[in-house]
Chain A
Amino acid sequence: MPLEMTTSAVAMANIVINGRRIQTLPGQTVLQAATAAGIKIPTLCHHPRLPAHGSCRLCLVEIEKQRALQPACTFPVSEGLVIRTDTEKLMVERRFALQMILSERSHYCMFCPASGTCENSDCELQRLCYDHGLNCWEYTPHYEKRWPVDGTRQYFVMDHGRCILCRRCIRACSSIAANHTLGVHQRGTHTLIGADDDVPFGRSSCVSCGSCLQVCPTGALSERNSAFAGRSADFKRTKAVCLGCAVGCGIEALVRDNHLARIEGDWEAANGGLLCAAGRFEVLQPRPPRIRTPLVREKGKLAAASWDRALDCVAQKFRKAERVACLASPRLLNESMAALTLFFNETMRTNEVALLYGEAPPLDLGAPAGLADVADSDCIVVIGGNPMEHQRVVGYLTRRSLDHGGKLVLVHNGSTSLDGYADLHLELEDISHPAASPFERLRATYHLRASSLTRLKHMVETAERPIVLYGSGLSTTVYVAMRTLPSRARFLPLIAGTNTRGAVRLGLSARPVNGEILYLMAADDLPDHAPLPTRQFTVVHAAYQSDWTDTADVVFPALMWAEKTGHVTNLEGKTLEVKPVMSAPADVLPAWKVLLQLSERVGRSLTYEDICTFAGSR
């Protein structure tokens, strides 16, 4: 029975489906009411997360007092409807609809990555054909017509020959990603799904978020990485958290034989199935060779060593050292961050612990906003950040709010891809001392003129559900001014670095450190940030080979993101549980375990309980 029944005060509608009396809410469609009652109606163009379209005619039902068969996905329920979903007439109509769809293009299943058997086909069209007992083509498809294949996108391919024009991709592009790249071009038998003014997809305004790929019911859109690597049913599907940036989107990872093949957005998570190119595709791209065992430099060359030997070597250096410094990747989980802070602060008695990169602005400006609130806001202020680049899902959600008539106030200098959408554009002023050396100006400070601030405030005051997305690097006066905004304004910090918020809570930040020994906790990060400080001895804890490990004296192998267990704090401040989607190489341990062993060898040993207490106390 539908959940809404018990919670809503709205009058219920009584309908009858296949002779069963069902109570439902007005406003629901026949399909929703039937699904809620456990009655299955076949669908093809319909997708529960997309606006209904009603073009495939698979969900046709018989409704008494209606002249013709009606599509269940668009027909609203009303009091007294009597519906049948399972008559022979409907089966004939559905079979006819399927035959017509098959006759239009080259649905030649043998060469399609989505093809499978009756039970494990990834193609919804193929599954429906099996279900409806189609075993021959009643209308011969015209194979002589060559439908184009567009392979210009980096991560996935469009084969128009397998497209059924259900427009799910178009609806996903506009209503999920709010990108509006896709549309229907031409007419009749020439109809094609196209991008912008019929440019190749790879050269269009597409942002490769992959929402269209995730909802495509056939093999028309197929991902390069996972095509022909198996059916969905062959993969182990695990819900996980994307560790690409501070948004912490919910993902579903598809793994086969401990090989990560595909990432999909988790419909149930706060991101609602939406991901960005970095989270969906870039994580599957080839990485440098993995570090699988500890390495110790001997006679100038790095050689594989046992954990005992490597740990002893480091512990010996640590015992003698005057000052040890540590730089940590913000991609570490809370547990490893806590172990690291505790190890260096307590065991090594040093404060030279910092993040490799990653910044968080003040986190206490007002009521916090959640990710889910962004798309519903009627006025979004983006100040001192670029969500379209660094927290892309937040950027897409911002644009979704604009589609519903929301206003956008953009406060920054430079340009971002949100520029063309802004209702009000305000400039920030760089007030760092012009004569300051590049080192002193590591981070420029930006200020907002009083007149601009007044205009910003006016926009926020006239809105009902304003949300401020703010970045770091602004002057104190700007942050102070933001605190004086009306109390209904809610704040979402644009934090750089995946778990920077978790790190900040433990007292870590990105700043220069000094020490004769450098412990670089790189995790699965690769060097593309500032150069490392000068040091005499370097320990690198990394998952992949890089310039860092090549120049290190001792290398510890680290887990990569998909192997980690623990927690991460996202930009909303939510603590998300991270579960492994694949198993780690045999000799690779979590960072906190390595630090515990190291603390034992240095002589002031820590326990797992210490870490938990420390992490919990913050």
Chain B
Amino acid sequence: MTNTLPQEKSAPAKEPPVDLARLDRILEEFKSAKGALIPILQRAQDAYGFLPRTVLNHIAYKARVPLADVYGVATFYAQFHLERRGRHLIRVCDGTACHVRGAPRNIEVLEKNLGLVPGGTSADYEYTVEVVYCLGSCGLAPVAVMDNQVCGRLTPEGLVRHLKTLA
């Protein structure tokens, strides 16, 4: 850890205000730990649903890690998200097995039903759709995981039915 940020950067204008008290409690837990950037980012993402710029700035400032490094780690790992995500996470598989058994049609139906913006999140921030390549359940192809619940042998109709149960 280095002595880096002279002062905390102010939040970008377009970002809604973020309550940093929760982050401060997380940072307090890791106060004496060295090299704890990834666990801090994970906990922060759990708390906020994603990693707003204000949160990254605050972590850099409080943990005394260069902001460029915080941003570098957050953009390196696929598990970290810098854009706001939907309340429900739907991960649809488009791996080889799912693809040949009709996954593209399922994805098309999802996109149409949820009105997704680029980035895979619906305009009302209710749903985020991620297309993944293999969930390790090829026997159930085509498969999707909706809020940690595995749904196999999906048809477009079945998919819509499942969506309704999510809300």
The interface residues of chain B, by DSSP majority, are classed as helix
Kindly identify which residue among B3, B53, B57, B68 contacts A194, using a CB–CB cutoff of 8 Å. Answer: B68
Cα separation A421 to B61 with both chains bound (whole Å): 11
Q: How far apart are A387's CB and chain B's nearest CB, in angstroms? A: 14
Cα separation A197 to B75 with both chains bound (whole Å): 10
Q: Which residue of A lies closest to B53 (CB)?
A: A197
Q: Is the CB of A196 within 8 A of B68?
A: yes
Residues of B within 8 A of A183 (CB): 66, 68-69, 71-72
Residues of B within 8 A of A598 (CB): none
Q: Which residue of B lies closest to A421 (CB)?
A: B3
Q: Which residue of B lies closest to A186 (CB)?
A: B75
Segment of B4-12, B102-110, B117-125 in the binding face: B4-12
Q: Indicate whether B2 reaches chain A with its CB closer than 8 angstroms.
A: yes
Cα separation A174 to B72 with both chains bound (whole Å): 15
Q: Contacts A180-B2, A180-B66, A183-B66; is A194 near B71 (CB within 8 Å)?
A: yes
Kindly identify which residue among B6, B68, B69, B75 contacts A419, using a CB–CB cutoff of 8 Å. Answer: B6
Q: Is the CB of B56 within 8 A of A197?
A: yes
The interface residues of chain A, by DSSP majority, are classed as mixed
Cα separation A196 to B56 with both chains bound (whole Å): 10
Q: How far apart are B23's CB and chain A's nearest CB, in angstroms? A: 16
Q: How far apart are B4's CB and chain A's nearest CB, in angstroms? A: 5
Q: How far apart are B44's CB and chain A's nearest CB, in angstroms? A: 14
Q: Contacts A196-B9, A197-B56; is A182 near B3 (CB within 8 Å)?
A: no
Q: Is the CB of A182 within 8 A of B7?
A: no
Q: How far apart are B3's CB and chain A's nearest CB, in angstroms? A: 4
Cα separation A418 to B3 with both chains bound (whole Å): 11
Q: Which residue of A lies closest to B66 (CB)?
A: A180
How many residues from B make CB contacts under 8 Å with A?
19
Q: Indicate whether B41 reaches chain A with its CB closer than 8 angstroms.
A: no
A164-188 interface code vs B (CB 8 A; 1 in, 0 out): 0000001000100010111111110
Q: Indicate whether A399 reaches chain B with its CB closer than 8 angstroms.
A: yes
Q: Indicate whether A326 reaches chain B with its CB closer than 8 angstroms.
A: no
Kindly identify which residue among A170, A194, A399, A419 contacts B7, using a CB–CB cutoff of 8 Å. Answer: A419
Q: Is the CB of A197 within 8 A of B67?
A: yes
B128-147 interface code vs A (CB 8 A; 1 in, 0 out): 00000000000000000000
Q: Which residue of A lies closest to B73 (CB)?
A: A183
Q: Which residue of B lies closest to A180 (CB)?
A: B66
Cα separation A184 to B72 with both chains bound (whole Å): 5
Q: Which residue of A lies closest to B76 (CB)?
A: A187
Q: Indicate whether A195 reaches chain B with its CB closer than 8 angstroms.
A: yes
Q: Indicate whether A198 reaches chain B with its CB closer than 8 angstroms.
A: yes
Q: Which residue of B lies closest to A195 (CB)?
A: B68
Q: Is the CB of B53 within 8 A of A186?
A: no
Q: Is the CB of A418 within 8 A of B6?
A: yes
Q: Indicate whether A402 reaches chain B with its CB closer than 8 angstroms.
A: yes
Kindly identify which residue among A180, A399, A421 contacts B68, using a CB–CB cutoff of 8 Å. Answer: A180
Residues of A within 8 A of B67 (CB): 180, 196-197, 205
Residues of A within 8 A of B57 (CB): 197
Residues B127-167 near A (CB distance < 8 A): none
Kindly identify which residue among A184, A418, A420 contacts B5, using a CB–CB cutoff of 8 Å. Answer: A420
Q: Which residue of B lies closest to A192 (CB)?
A: B75
Q: Indicate whether A403 reaches chain B with its CB closer than 8 angstroms.
A: yes
Cα separation A174 to B66 with both chains bound (whole Å): 9
Residues B1-45 near A (CB distance < 8 A): 2-7, 9
Cα separation A184 to B66 with both chains bound (whole Å): 12
Residues of A within 8 A of B70 (CB): 197
Q: Is the CB of A181 within 8 A of B7?
A: no
Q: Indicate whether A417 reaches chain B with its CB closer than 8 angstroms.
A: yes
13 more A-B contacts (CB under 8 A) besides A197-B70, A205-B67? Answer: A180-B4, A183-B68, A184-B76, A187-B75, A195-B68, A196-B68, A197-B53, A197-B67, A197-B68, A399-B3, A403-B2, A403-B3, A418-B6
A-B contact pairs, 14 of them (CB 8 A): A178-B2, A181-B68, A183-B72, A195-B68, A197-B71, A205-B5, A205-B6, A408-B3, A417-B6, A418-B6, A419-B6, A419-B7, A420-B5, A420-B7
**Leading 7 A-B pairs by shortest Cβ distance:** A183-B68, A180-B66, A420-B6, A402-B3, A183-B72, A197-B71, A196-B67
